[in-house]
Amino acid sequence: MPELWRYRELIWNLTVVELKNRYQNTGLGFIWSLLSPLLMALVLFFIFRYLFQQEPNFAAYLLVGLMAWRFFAICTTSSVYSIVGKGSLVTKVYIPRRILVLSNTISNLISSLLEFIIIIPILFAVSGSLPVTILLFPLVFLIYFWFVYGASLFLAALYVYFRDLNQIWEVLVTTLFFLSPIFYPMSAIKGAMPVYLLNPLTEFIIIFRDLMIYGKIPTLYSLSIVCVASIASVLIGSLIFNRLQRRFAEEI
């Protein structure tokens, strides 16, 4: 950790470079990146609106789920390349290599926060009010950040050795999309509930909805689940990353 602090400048610089590259054509770049999830939400809304009529505020339900999902999906699929794609910073110079993954995760965090900020007025418009619990959102999102970071470490390190991981992961991410309650209500999968909750993303998405739509404070139980999931993710991710990084320069 002290080492990461010493390199804080680099972490920030790489994050900015990442963001600049993503939104290269400034204003329009960001609008495009927002258009795609909103269009996706719109399509899902019109398809499933009648199917899931029991969900009272389906539009808000869908938006929060989709945005929370996007952070995980986009960040992990881009993190796969964060070591291999930065070859010269790995093979030619010493830096703590987890910085490359960390800065990618931070840049995605910033994009995701912007997306959430944009949907807040929409949430207000479709629900008529915003719950106070929304103030707790940053806290849980921070826990979520570490969960995503751990997964990213794991993927970035493994991809150095297994170059088909990007394709495998894309399939897995798509599978996870359908296994998480993004576009269907929780009541639709009542029977399979216990197995279903093994997916930590489900727990995160439920909490985000409670905070942003229903005004419910998460229970201690569900909070501890997401905390444990995040800690486990960072620990396992770091352990594997540290082991594998020793031969990064030879494998790239």
Partner 1 sequence: MSAIVVKDISKRFKIPHHKKTTLFQNMVGLVKRQMTYEEFWALKDVSFEVQRGETFGIIGRNGSGKSTLLKLLAMVLYPDSGTIAINGKVASFLELGAGFQPELTAKENVYIYSSILGMNRKETAKIYDGIFEFAELKRFEDMKLKNYSSGMYLRLAFATAIQTDPDIMLVDEVLAVGDEAFQKKCILKMNEFRERGKTIIFVSHALESVRSICTSAILLHNGSVVARGAAEPVIRNYLELLK
Task: List Cβ<8 Å contacts ≥24 apart for 135-141.
Answer: 136/211, 136/217, 136/218, 137/208, 137/211, 137/212, 140/204, 140/207, 140/208, 140/211, 140/218, 140/223, 140/226, 141/109, 141/113, 141/116, 141/208
d(CA 90, CA 229): 29
Q: Which stretch binds partner 1 (CB under 8 A): 25-33, 158-166, 188-196, 208-216?
A: 158-166
Q: Minimum distance between the CB of residue 173 and partner 1, rounded to whole angstroms?
A: 16
Options 46, 50, 162, 178; binder of partner 1; rule CB under 8 A: 162
One symbol per residue from 45 to 84: x for binding partner 1 (CB under 8 A), - otherwise; what is it?
----------------------------------------
For the segment 82-111, give every residue that binds partner 1 (CB under 8 A): 86, 88-95
Q: Smaller CB distance to partner 1: residue 8 or 49?
A: 8
Between 207 and 244, name the residue whose CB sits nearer to partner 1: 244
Residues with Cβ within 8 Å of 152's Cβ and at least 6 positions away in sequence, in order, are 75, 76, 79, 82, 101, 104, 105, 237
The residues binding partner 1 (CB under 8 A) are 6-10, 13-14, 17, 20-21, 24, 86, 88-95, 161-165, 168, 246-247, 249-250
